[in-house]
Amino acid sequence: MSTHNRYIYHCLKCGSIAIKEMWEECPHCCGAPMNQSAAETVEDATGIRSSNATHPPVEKPVVPVQPPDLSVWFD
């Protein structure tokens, strides 16, 4: 079983989240690069080795996320 890391980014201004493969560039949102907040380890697809850095780019849409209402804790 071969695995690789997939990075999870978020926007500090609007809270959008994006998941990118390790060979893809950092996404931009609200005119600035998004911050890498975490990484997850996933299995490689059959026939693809994680040491191969020539994977084609995979575009995933940035999904806007509604920030939580913090007025409950802060007045």
> pTM of the entire structure?
0.53
Do the beta carbons of residue 30 and residue 13 sit within 8 Å? yes
pLDDT single digits (tens) 26-64: 889 988 889 888 888 888 776 545 454 555 666 777 777
Q: Encoding tokens for residue 4?
A: 């690789």
- For the chain, state the CA radius of gyration: 15
Q: How many other C-beta atoms are found inside a 10 Å radius of the C-beta of residue 17?
A: 17
Q: Encoding tokens for residue 70?
A: 């913090």
Highest mean pLDDT among 14-18, 42-46, 63-67, 68-72: 14-18
Cβ-based neighbours of 1, under 8 Å, separated by 6 or more: 43
